[in-house]
Structure 1
Amino acid sequence: MSEPEETQTQAKATPLRSLIGAVISGSLAFAAYFLMSAIATSFAAKPLHSDNLIVLRISSAVRTLVLGIAALGSGVFAIVAIGLVALAIQLFFQQLVKRES
């Protein structure tokens, strides 16, 4: 029994698609940044109240991990947006060279 093969067509990369992706990724980066800022503000406004050293260390580690994950998400989306803008510029110049020749 063989399953029918699905033909997948790959969409060509265009400067417009790259810029649209960059806008989407950039907006997600800003959203992640504002989320990270809100989390940091919330953590700063609510200090830890405990006499137990283990509780203080674990809660500090959890807070650091939460902020780190939000910062990582923001950074990844920002780098993707920059890369897509660079790809759009590269594709634009490639189209200009093709038209000239």
Structure 2
Amino acid sequence: MNDPNLTPQTETPPSLLRCVTGAVISGGLSFAVYSLMIAIATNFATKPIHSDNVLTLRISSAVRTLVVGVFALGSGIFGIVAIGLLALAIQSIIQQLTKPKSN
């Protein structure tokens, strides 16, 4: 578990550029996944299932719900990450402004 040959890694504070770049990328991915989710949901809505078998209708409804739900979850996660990275950028700006200047 504790290997003495490993060098300890020092944490570097997040830079403003990295935070904003990550937020833009994550926000773009969130929008792309959301757009894809809307397209899939619209496609599912316009093409109803034609079957007399109740089990087939229930399974296909569950699969459609799961597919749309997975894309909604992905969109939400990327959106939350983008908001978090923007909040981290704002926090680092505030910390830089309030940090006392040393000579």
Pairwise TM-score range, normalised by the shorter structure: 0.7 to 0.9
Structure 1 residue aligned with 2:16: 15
After superposition, where does 1:6-85 map in structure 2 within 5 Å?
A: 8=9, 10-85=11-86
- Aligned CA RMSD, in angstroms, stands at 2.0
2-structure distance, mates of 1:27, 1:11: 26
Deviations 1:6-44 (A, max 9, x none): 675644301221111000100000010011011001101
Q: Name the structure with the higher helix share.
A: 1
User: Structure 1 residue runs of 4+, over 6 Å off?
Assistant: none
2:91 maps to a residue whose letter is Q
Fraction of identical pairs, as percent = 63
Residue ranges of structure 1 left out of the alignment (5+ in a row): none
